Chain A
Amino acid sequence: NAGVTQTPKFQVLKTGQSMTLQCAQDMNHEYMSWYRQDPGMGLRLIHYSVGAGITDQGEVPNGYNVSRSTTEDFPLRLLSAAPSQTSVYFCASGVGEAYYGYTFGSGTRLTVV
């Protein structure tokens, strides 16, 4: 049981490049989400999904796309990277009900130059 796995752990992009951050969970969780964390800040929600085929925007969705074709995977796509997207990205999953805590991945540290 690996929990929530994020790849890559580190990435450097040039402005305008695109890439996909991967997130996979093996706990059969219905809920998955992406957060970003900027220096000295709390986490902010980018996109989330409540099940395969269902996604929605969070607090800061601009510049990011997501899809959820399977229960296990929830990739985050940067369409045209900008320096403002330099951040640490965390993926989280959970059973959805408020009775339980969410499980977070170890993060992807992204630098856009």
Chain B
Amino acid sequence: DAKTTQPPSMDCAEGRAANLPCNHSTISGNEYVYWYRQIHSQGPQYIIHGLKNNETNEMASLIITEDRKSSTLILPHATLRDTAVYYCIVRVLHNSGAGSYQLTFGKGTKLSVIP
């Protein structure tokens, strides 16, 4: 799986949009970009994923650059409950072998939402 680079920490004012960047310059054509978050020692929570088109769900939006070398997770109206560590992960599209199931977690970005 391609490696990802994220800033270690970010702050965001409550009610404002939180934009979390991720660099994955070595991503392959068959790798998706996934985002998970972990709220204070709880189990990670799946947020969103995408291949090359922008994606939106009830939690967030995912913007992937045209060359797919970077992406941004957007929380449109951050709340205090969004304070968490956010992980950007890339993994293969198809299950061609055991390793394709694995999620490789880095250290993520610690997002602090400030009142």
Q: Which residues from chain A sit less than 8 Å from chain B, CB to CB? A: 4, 31, 33, 35, 40-45, 48, 50, 56, 58-59, 88, 90, 92, 94, 96-107
CB within 8 Å of A: which of B40-73?
Answer: 41-47, 49
Residue pair B107, A42 in contact (C-beta under 8 Å): yes
**How many angstroms between the C-alpha atoms of A100 and B47 in the bound complex?**
10
CB distance A101 to B105 under 8 Å?
no
Contacts A43-B44, A101-B34, A106-B42 given: A56-B98 contact, CB under 8 Å?
yes
Which residues in chain B, 66-115, are within 8 Å of chain A measured between CB atoms?
87, 91-95, 98, 100-108
Q: Which residues of chain A are near B91, meaning CB under 8 Å?
A: 98
Question: Looking at the complex, which one of A56, A103, A106 makes contact with B46 (CB distance below 8 Å)?
Answer: A103
Q: Please, how many residues of chain B have a CB less than 8 angstroms from a CB on the other chain? A: 27
Measuring CB to CB, which residues of chain B are less than 8 angstroms from any residue of chain A? Answer: 32, 34, 36, 41-47, 49, 87, 91-95, 98, 100-108
Is B100 in contact with A107, judged by CB distance below 8 angstroms? no
CB-CB nearest 6 A-B residue pairs: A101-B46, A104-B43, A42-B105, A43-B105, A56-B98, A104-B44
Say how far A88's CB is from chain B's closest CB, in angstroms. 7
